[in-house]
A and B are shown apart, each in its own frame.
Chain A
Amino acid sequence: MKAGSNLEKILTSGKFAVTGELGPPKGADVSVIERKANLLKGNVDAVNVTDNQTAIVRMSSIAVGAILQRMGIEATMQMVCRDRNRIAMQSDIFGAYALGLRNILCLSGDHQKFGNQPTAKNVFDLDSIQLIQTVKLMRDEHKVLGGDEIEGAPAMFIGAAENPFADPFEYRVIRLAKKVAAGVDFIQTQCIYDMAKFERFMQMARDRGLHEKIHILAGVTPLKSVGMARYMKEKVAGMDVPEEIIARMKSAGKEKAREEGLNICVEQIQRLRQIEGVHGIHLMAIEWEDAVHGIVERAGLLPRPQV
């Protein structure tokens, strides 16, 4: 065990993991977190807490992560490279560990241009792969960058994201391999709608033996409407939504759209489970946390294993 987190235990014991996601509030209201967290509790093995996602100012991912831990829910803190330099990042990792956090997801971070602070100065002192290296150095060699010894290593289970649908497609597996070389333990992918393309990606990952070195969790997001499907396809960077899915959402009509979105999501999970090297799913029900229980149950993934 590297960190001994629940997520690590589930994955290393060969069980199929389910992780969820929680977006912190745009303010200091703790009740929002508690409401969302209670909908996720018991349905997932760990909850990702986003770090000022889309560059919109929200409560800190570490603070929210600590609140979740207190509620008995395991958190995965996301950390982006956009807002902090290596001094602040390493310091925050110490602090997060001290507050009980055991999983970290290392991300580049969305550019601030589309957030609510477009005139901010960005940092990007490290990139996401270098952040993985840094956390690993702290955990395994008990050092900070530059080589100084540390008092008490933060034993974090290290994750990263991968978008199999970004371009250039042939390069995505090379980048995954770089993350593996940097020392990542698990990967959560961007939400998958184009199953065939994802299968090709997984084939390429298996060809390199990457599926045996790390745990890949496939990202899924239930669609709420045909509008959302179209928006994801056209507006969200690096997202592929096949016409077939858009057509299904459309023919469901307004009334039944949500139901059809959930059906598609459950079917996707079932297909993803069959893919060799997929060790779990990362369920991102954006502002739709009350759908999580039903999806996980219908996918036959409840109750969550106790390890």
Chain B
Amino acid sequence: MIIAEGKPIKEILAMIDDYDKIIVAGCKGCVTVCSAGGQKEVEILSSALRLARKAQGKALDIKEVTLERQCDTEYLEPMREYADQYQAILSLACGAGIQFVAEKFRKQPVLPGVNTQFIGVTEEQGVWTERCQSCGNCLLHQTGGICPVTRCSKSLFNGPCGGSKAGKCEIDPQIDCGWQLIYERLKELGLLAKLEVVLPIKDWSTSRDGGPRKRIREDLKI
């Protein structure tokens, strides 16, 4: 899923300084699961904003809503009914959701309430870690199911580099060396021979480097 984190309240207050009627819109997708922008976060953030604005002596009228998803047109539609009565929409969805709201609702600015961080997993309760950089050409079959693009701090294809020590990456003793993980996994699988092969230079054109990406399934179009 996509992992995000709430923006500092100070930053949000500065963004909404000019408005006294806003929508705070959560999303029931990924940001609910990673506790960044679900219904609960909408409630908590809204009361915090109200309190802060009260302290500033400036009224703030907030409409709280949490949509099924913000990355699908149909789930955005219900907001049409009341959107025009508000001066701005503060979205707590991921960056894609926020942008989609901005595309569909053209009369008021749409503001980001979260920082979208990465594609990751819930490693344990309250701990999320990155797993994929959506490079567009997955090579996990060559690396024991561990992504070198993401898990190696330098995205090396033929690591580990000289900085790998006791299983940790040179950049931080708290961060696992992705290539140590790959090594161990391949060893476990009896596939260490895979590491003798030089992984070729990557074609980054399937990644963001090829420009904004688009996927079309003609058979699904209506």
Residue ranges of A at the interface with B (Cβ–Cβ < 8 Å): 81-82, 86, 108-111, 113-114, 122, 124-130, 133-134, 145, 161-163, 166-168, 171, 174-175, 177-178, 181-182, 190, 237-238
* A114 CA to B172 CA, complexed, in Å: 10
Please tell me which one of the listed residues B154, B161, B202 contacts residue A122 in the complex, with CB atoms under 8 A apart: B154
Q: Closest chain A residue to B166 by CB distance?
A: A167
Residue ranges of B at the interface with A (Cβ–Cβ < 8 Å): 153-167, 170-172, 177, 180, 183-184, 192, 195-198, 200-202, 204
Query: Please, which residues of chain A bring their CB within 8 A of the CB of B164?
Result: 166-168, 237-238
Query: Please, which residues of chain A bring their CB within 8 A of the CB of B166?
Result: 167
Contact B158 A110 (CB under 8 A): no
Q: Least Cβ distance of A226 to chain B in Å?
A: 21
> Given A108-B154, A127-B154 in contact, is the A167-B196 Cβ separation under 8 Å?
no
Contact B154 A161 (CB under 8 A): no
Query: Please, which residues of chain B bring their CB within 8 A of the CB of A174?
Result: 192, 195-196
Contact A111 B163 (CB under 8 A): yes
Contact A167 B198 (CB under 8 A): no
> Given A171-B195, A181-B198 in contact, is the A129-B162 Cβ separation under 8 Å?
no
Query: Please, which residues of chain B bring their CB within 8 A of the CB of A86?
Result: 201
* A126 CA to B165 CA, complexed, in Å: 22
Q: Which of B172, B195, B198 has the most CB of A within 10 A?
A: B198
25 contacting pairs across A/B (C-beta < 8 A) = A81-B154, A82-B154, A108-B156, A108-B161, A124-B154, A127-B155, A127-B157, A129-B158, A129-B198, A130-B157, A166-B160, A166-B162, A166-B163, A167-B160, A167-B165, A167-B177, A168-B183, A168-B184, A171-B160, A174-B195, A175-B160, A177-B196, A190-B162, A237-B162, A238-B162
Query: Please, which residues of chain A bring their CB within 8 A of the CB of B171?
Result: 111, 113-114
Query: Please, which residues of chain A bring their CB within 8 A of the CB of B180?
Result: 167-168
